[in-house]
Amino acid sequence: MRTSRLFMALMASLGAALLSATPAAAQTNMKINISIAQNSHQGVAIDTFAREVEKRTGGRYKIQAFYSGSLGGERESVEAVQLGTQELTFTSTGPVPNFVPEVAILDIPFLFRDYAHARSTLDGPIGQDLLGKFPSKGIVALAWGENGFRHMTNSKRAVNAPDDLKGLKMRTMENPVHIQAYKAFGIIPTPMAFPEVFTALQQGTVDGQENPLSVITSAKFEQVQKHLSLTGHVYSPALLLMNKAAWDKLPAADKQAFSEAAKEAVKANRARVDDDERKAVADLRSKGMNVVENLDKGKFQATLGPTYADFGKKFGQDNIDRIRNYK
């Protein structure tokens, strides 16, 4: 009897030891980044995504966020995701046509009427069809986010009409559609990674730049730019991208968790854009910027007549009209 009790105690002790030695569920670490500051519409997006992924997977995935271009500019980040040296990024679509050419149609100036039109188009069949173009390039696009409608700033003069743009040296994204359109305005486009822009404006390497109000405010461009014109010339979407090999390794339940986290990130991202849009103009004026609000956008569109004809041939006029007329 005593031997039996001793044996049972020994087995219990051994079982407890084995239990305590069993490792906890392994945690997978992933990186995500943006090229602008954490306190921005993009920062809100990746912080929300990281928090939601961790919550929805019980902490089995840890998403480490990087800001202000600390892992490189947008093009470098998309390349890193494609190569698998980085798992995730949140980027404007500026450099994306270099990887997925079909996305370039969204960069046509004055394509979208307003935010409601842009969001419904991207959330609907047109946007979802475009997301389907990414996997063959080694990337999974989890969701459409938002950068916002782009406006022009410069240090030289107020821009009230297209002629005022002639001769201005403007930083642009590495985006062929943007560059072609800006040349039609008489702008001298200067493609440049975003982390370099503030210094280039400060040193006079370029006269101006164009970005949504959310970016202009978070980057503090009012410190190096005098004039802002609310041209709203291009709607700039954003994308939450993931390396396809990393995505393929996820179990089905975790893929669902990542997808749901991406939806929450987009909600937070768009809400911040809306908030920034309400506050930005008064804020920038209070900091000394000259803001031109009421421009005749028809004149800007008329200047692009021959360019629109080129875009119609390149993308298919039916495809452009399908987006313009989407409701």
pLDDT per position as a tens digit, 14-66: 454 444 443 456 899 999 999 999 999 999 999 999 999 999 999 999 999 99
What distance in Å separates the CA atoms of residue 25 and residue 31, rounded to the nearest whole number?
20
What would the mean pLDDT of 220-227 be, rounded to a whole number? 98
Whole-number pLDDT of residue 74: 95
The conformation of residue 163, written as its DSSP 8-state character, comes to G
What percent of the chain shows pLDDT beyond 90? 91
The label of the residue with tokens 């394509």 reads 111
What distance in Å separates the CA atoms of residue 194 and residue 43, rounded to the nearest whole number?
15
Whole-number pLDDT of residue 13: 53
Six-digit token string for 155:
């240090």
Whole-number pLDDT of residue 298: 96
> Given a cut of 60, is residue 7 above it in pLDDT?
no
Q: Which domains does the chain have, with CATH numbers?
A: 26-324 (3.40.190.170)
> Given a cut of 50, is residue 86 above it in pLDDT?
yes
Beta bridge mates, 154: 208, 227
Whole-number pLDDT of residue 174: 86
Does residue 180 contact residue 315 with C-beta atoms inside 8 Å? Answer: no
What distance in Å separates the CA atoms of residue 247 and residue 285, rounded to the nearest whole number?
45
Whole-number pLDDT of residue 23: 45
What would the mean pLDDT of 121-138 be, rounded to a whole number? 98
Whole-number pLDDT of residue 5: 53
Is the entire prediction scored with pTM above 0.85? Answer: yes
The conformation of residue 87, written as its DSSP 8-state character, comes to S
The label of the residue with tokens 């990542």 reads 258
Does residue 221 contact residue 207 with C-beta atoms inside 8 Å? Answer: no
- List phi, psi (to 5°) of 209: -155, 175
